[in-house]
Structure 1
Amino acid sequence: MAQSLGQQRALQEVVDTDRYPLHDPGGAVLAAVVERARAELRERGCTVLPDFIRPEQRATLRAEGEAVAPHAHYEPETVNAYNIAVDDTLPADHPARRAMVRGNAFVARDLLPRDCLIERLYTDPGFGRFVADCFELPALHPLADPLSALCLNVIPPGMAHPWHFDTNEYTVSMLTRESESGGQFHYCPGIRSAEAENLDDVRAVLDGDTTAVRELTLRPGDLQLFKGRFSLHRVDTVTGATARHSAIFAYSERPGVIGSVERTRQLFGRVLPAHHAAAAARVRGDALLD
């Protein structure tokens, strides 16, 4: 379905539509962008679309993030790669028993202004269709989670976002403010699948084996598409005086996906009735730990 003129103008105000003409989904330019993204996602499990946001909008992107960052739930805690509670039924050498300090914080979606740049992108049907096309899917659904569907990830100096898997299969993120130094994105593409946890491989990475680890440098305004449910990933320690901010847009192939009670409490410091209801009738596409 063609977009309205109003939707096209909204996209053109935010996105560099000369390079990424989302308003022209049948055009040759966008087709070439999509094909490159698909190839990189197949090969690497990740693709980056540089300078996705117009240069004149990057200051707004940064300022909007800085305005809401003080509302982030910040409570450093000991976690594991699956963000699950650990009980005595797991073997002593299980990767979930590898403890790490999570020092990043999240601003939940219900604390973001409805007219902010990242909200406008997330709710734009042309943007959603483009993301689905890049992932070679007929459609993608925004996460139904009222807190984690769209959020701002804040990593202050001296802290990191340690190794973890995402709840959602398809993660789209955008750096909104880069750190002075540090804050590199590391990932292990396809280290597990919907059918297999591959615990030995995950354990090896957590124990320091870098064979499967790739490193990625991101810049503000770059759009990153990533298969985060199946790729172990982290942001290493931020150094210098500037916190690292990134927007996280979450999607799933199935409608109705909501994060677990335990993970939501860890990330946002609170749980809503929707999370408790989802725990009783969980909508998930696999039986992975989390």
Structure 2
Amino acid sequence: MPTTAAAIDPAVESKPTQRRLADAERTDLSELVDTDRYPLHDVDDPRLQAEIARVREDLDREGCAVLRGFLRSEALEQARQEGRELSAKSYYASRRVNAWFTSDDESLPEHDPRRHFMERTSGFVTRDMIPADAVIQQLYVSPAMKRLVAECLQEDEVYEYADPFAGLVQNVLPPGTEQPWHYDTNEYIVTMMTDIPDSGGEFQYCPNIRTPAGENYDGVGAVIRGEDTTTPRTLLLRPGDLQLFKGRYSLHRVTRVSGERERHTAIFAYSQQPGVVGRLERTRQLYGRVSEAHIEAEKRREERADGLLD
């Protein structure tokens, strides 16, 4: 039987598959997000409003909330494969740190938690290495995603980081690594696991163990030294779940990863003001390099208003 000309047209045969690029004007995320459950295109939809109300309650009570099954299964599989490819670009660093990422102060008593140093080994793939068509890039820049985060956090608006490295990163924890007890420097963080290890890699946290009024060194020290095992809570996270977490006041860690598979987590960093750039020294510690933007921002840096150590 003769074949039609269209069937053998090489131009048709070689036409590349169209890929979505990260687009700061794109509001339709239905290809990636389960919009039947989370209709991001309509913030007034009763289904979305119910989820936002629940998230707000969880954040107020626990400092942590999860939107289960946020990604569609096809998008999750794409994100998982992209994460495995990105893993080869990870910068790994191993060093002993305390929960505040500060240097040792020998003037403090040996029992002080600021003198308790833990081994931290983890990897990061920075935003400048994540392709524009990656699922996590598409999510990060979307105004629908920003609007959801703002609504959940009861903010008028949230902004992408101006930081060329830290706005969006993939955290990579190979077997045998962990993230010890620590705080985040920003008020809140949004994360999504894309690949789960065979065992371990559990997220544990202590809700509001410190406040702007004080560090609560006694309580924090008891957790860090393993004397208090009742305060830490373990949160079951599954790939494709979206997590919102107030990590500046809640001590947290990821337990040691075991087995053969790595633990991959996308970290979406948003801020309440535009133009945020990470601290120079912490950027160097986490990512192994700094940019001119970090150097210039450090010259203009002001002290944090809450007066906490980090």
What TM-score results when the alignment is normalised by the length of structure 2? 0.87
Q: Deviations over 1:125-144 (max 9, x none)?
A: 11111111111222222222
Q: Deviations over 1:149-180 (max 9, x none)?
A: 11000001011111111111110000010001
| Aligned match of 1:258 | 277
Identity of aligned residues (%): 50
1:249 aligns with 2:268: yes
In 2: Cα distance, 1:117 partner to 1:62 partner: 9
| Aligned match of 1:36 | 54
| Aligned match of 1:58 | 76
Pairing partner for 2:183 from 165, 168, 171 = 165
Pairing partner for 1:278 from 267, 292, 297 = 297
In 2: Cα distance, 1:197 partner to 1:78 partner: 21
Q: Return the letter of the residue paired with 1:174.
A: M
Q: Return the letter of the residue paired with 2:187.
A: E
| Aligned match of 1:289 | 309
**CA 1:67–1:101: 2 relative to 1, 3 Å:** same
- Deviation, 1:90, is 4.6
SS class of match (2:31): helix
**CA 1:91–1:155: 2 relative to 1, 3 Å:** same
Q: Return the letter of the residue paired with 1:260.
A: R
In 1: Cα distance, 2:212 partner to 2:142 partner: 29
Q: Aligned ranges for residues 111-260 of structure 1 at < 5 Å?
A: 111-208=129-226, 209-260=228-279
Query: Once superposed, what is the RMSD of the aligned Cα atoms?
Result: 1.7
1:74 aligns with 2:107: no
Structure 1 residue runs of 5 or longer lacking an equivalent are none
- Deviation, 1:28, is 0.8
Moved more, 177-186 or 109-118: 109-118
- Deviation, 1:53, is 0.2
Which of 1 and 2 has greater Rg? 2
SS class of match (1:65): helix
How many residue pairs get aligned? The number is 285
SS class of match (2:30): helix
**CA 1:125–1:89: 2 relative to 1, 3 Å:** farther
Q: Return the letter of the residue paired with 2:115.
A: R
